[in-house]
Amino acid sequence: MGGARAAVAILDIDPERAETAAREIASGGGVASAHQADVTDKTSVECAVAAAASRHGGLDVLVDSAGIGIRRLAVELSLSDWDKVGTVNLTSVFLCSEEAARVMLQKGGGAIVKLGSIMGFSAASTPNVSYQATKGGVINMTRALAVERAPSGIRVNAVAPTWVRTNLTAALLGQLGVVERIAALMPLKWLATPDEIAWAILYLVNPAAGMVAGHTLAVDGGFLAQ
């Protein structure tokens, strides 16, 4: 990411995946550590955040990026699936934010960025009620926590990406004609890359965004402007 430099602590329920990501960062000259954590479990989050803060001498930035989707019509969605999506997409975001904030308060401030989605603003044409509802919750949680934490020097914002080529969207985007149909919905006519989302996050945690709090930055190729 250009000249950006930070020690990165990666939390993942899959320790091998966390280790792989940490090695990739280290191979590029960065500093990273891997920590196993179930971000839907309070005790697990507390232990992982404490370990990360101890390893790196504190915590300045949190990026809440855990998320899943179960793409079904509402009438076909089981209660257990509804609960699963809500726990991963909403409860984990709250748990990580609050534990990170406690550590950040020890240093007098920090920045938190949550991963929302344009589906938190719009139902578009893709039935995905549990995902859409939870991402809407993330966006309003961002506002609420921003107001609560701002006096303590902690800025809370969110990024709302459009469709991005990731493991979460691979099954959908792999269907015949779906990429073309989705791209046609956006004025820029293409899907976002992970790097484009990362640049938006980098802006929000940077001092350049020092007066930005409670905002959700859409990285959507103009989708929501229509």
CB 90 within 8 A of CB 138: yes
- List, in sequence order, the alpha helices (H) in 57-128: 79-86, 92-105
CB atoms within 10 A of CB 145: 23
Phi-psi region of 34 (alpha: psi -120 to 50; beta: other; left: phi over 0): beta
**Rg of the chain (C-alpha set):** 17
3-class state of residue 160 by DSSP? strand
Residue 203 among the catalytic residues = no
> How far, in Å, are 55, 173, 183 from residue 177 at the CA level?
46, 8, 10
State the distance between the two ends of the chain, measured CA to CA, in whole angstroms: 30
Given CA atoms 16, 18, 21, 22 in this order, what sign does their dihedral have?
negative
Which among 48, 61, 100, 131 is annotated as catalytic?
131
Q: Among all residues, which ones are annotated catalytic?
A: 131
